[in-house]
Chains A and B, each alone.
Chain A
Amino acid sequence: MKQPKIQIRDLTLFYGEKMALNSISMEIPEKEVTAFIGPSGCGKSTFLRTLNRMNDLIPNVRITGEVLVDSLNIYDKQIDVVNLRKKVGMVFQKSNPFTKSIYENVAYGPKINGIHDRKKLEVIVETSLQKAFIWEEVKDRLHDSAMGLSGGQQQRMCIARALAVNPEIILMDEPASALDPISTAKIEELIFELKKNYTIVIVTHNMQQAARVSDLTAFFYLGELVEYGKTRKIFTTPDKKQTEDYITGRFG
């Protein structure tokens, strides 16, 4: 087996005095979809945010252990967090377009990377929007405000915005939780398409979704990684009782 894209070793996270993640170790393979499931408050979103160090923004967070991306510990003092986030993109639970035009939203990332050539930007914006399956819907109103898009469109535009920076890994924090079934289906289709080129980690509280889109599934409970393995196995013959209870809907 090839080198895993992300390796987590003994990761523990505290919010102040409270332990939110307890000694988590796992490996996330390249160009596959890994889903994190678990009841709310189990730490899965927090864990996702450790993978591109978004937790740095929250005061009183203390982290021990290692997260290796391409064998590089991203919690090393020598790591540049800003560039790390270009490599590890993120899509949030609530679609969060900037109050700018669609074009400006997608071009934001390339621009801060120093690309100001109009031609180049146009190509990047178009390609990104195409990859996110939204180009056809917005190509005639690129310069309208992104706030005018529907929820599902906004979310796909946010994915396009993340793709425009050309990341290798995309973290998705419940990307479809606020969307209707049709938009959700589109997002899932998109995820399926994206995994050809990107490593995707997705947090979801929707087990069907995890079963549909992911190759691997990790079940979290109370800040611990209970079980991790092939999605099919987790959903059919889990090793742990807790996992089975959750999957079958006995709690959570």
Chain B
Amino acid sequence: MVFSSIIFLFGFLPIFLIIYHFIDQRYKNHFALLSSLFFYTWGAPNFISIAILSIVADFFIVSFLSKSEGRNRLYLLWSSILLNLSFLLYFKYTNFFIDNLNSITSLFNGSEISIGTILLPIGISFYTFQKISYSVDIYRRIKNPLDSIVDYTLYILLFPQLIAGPIVRYNEIADQLHNRDSRNYDDKINGFYRFSIGLAKKVLIANEFGIKADFIFSLSTTDLSTSEAWIGILCYTFQIYFDFSGYSDMAIGLGRMMGFSFPENFNSPYLSKNISEFWRRWHITLGSWMRDYLYIPLGGNQSNKKWRVYFNLCLVFIISGFWHGAAWTFILWGAFHGVFLIADRLFLNQISKKWPSWIKIVLTFFVTVNGWVLFRSESLPFAMDFYRSLYTFNFNNIDTYLENKFIIITIIAIIISFGSISKLVSTNYSLFLSSVNLRVSLAKVALSIFLILLASAQLVSTTFNPFIYFRF
């Protein structure tokens, strides 16, 4: 069940919100868990048992861990991490490793291994990271473990962030699991507003770009002109941002209506002045998870040897790319960003120090757009051919792409993506978002109704409605 579907919007969500609103505080977690289980089972009936099995096992391992001392503590931590990673590795990467192994053995006329296609349980990449954060946070004694398995299962399966994040670390939500204000109407209105903004971003903007991007990426690269290739990749650039940030907005908004405060996941990433900054603004919860649970344990910036720091950086970004998908294109995309991050530290930041901000933003945007080619392509040869189309300077007529609707949506997307470059806009919008003034609340309600109506009209009328980050 996706948030931008009629069944969620007009079925699951209102029924959930009404019951959740009126149910006694003591049973809110139980009800939220039941709803989350239904939500997950509806989308992945074959995987719910696996998810629950791993959750129960993990809960008890970490319970023992919290009561243990010395080396046992470390062993239990590794048991938990390995348990979670083994599920992820099996479901997400087995096919990839076997395909690559077969490619190698075929070079030596070896026999092929075949185990059939393993389906990916939805949300596994996200909830695996949350589970690891639970084990590590308990191990580091940052927070106490949860007493109730209901609360733990709810933390992992809570439907707003279950499938595509944000990745909520245990220490960020531990207290809210049993102590949150779910009767605050400012939070509820703000949450609803945030949800409708996310829905509109996804349905009204991302989908419009998605149709064009999918069309252009389905064309044979031999027929693709430079102008078409640029339209295609720019459409994808906006599609992925509005799709993923829209989903995050919806998740954060839903959480807020329930009394949770989830971490932010995006902060105008296309305004970044270098790739390091991009990763502080794009998929923030993944970046900070990687930093705290991988980069720092590897030694982070603290190593005396510079090469070691660069190695750590590159490794973290390759793993980050691989986390997005079991394909060489994702690994290369991670490495591509890793290389720019190292270049930032080596010389780029120094060189560009005195450049005007807008030049740095344009250049960073250009690098990011080029990175998306790897991310979007089904294979490396396709990506290489696509790059060729981008840079052969073979321009043709693109009138057929430039419909009124597309032009207007593009202008809106540009304004939203780059609008907060103006301090006046960003400050006022932040004030608007956080304000609890009655007039502002009225404006938010009116805007929410308007956006929900527009998005619903589009949803009922069209069939194109994919979520990019569901596959990760």
Are A and B genuine complex partners? no
Give the interface of B toward A (CB within 8 A). Answer: none
Give the interface of A toward B (CB within 8 A). Answer: none
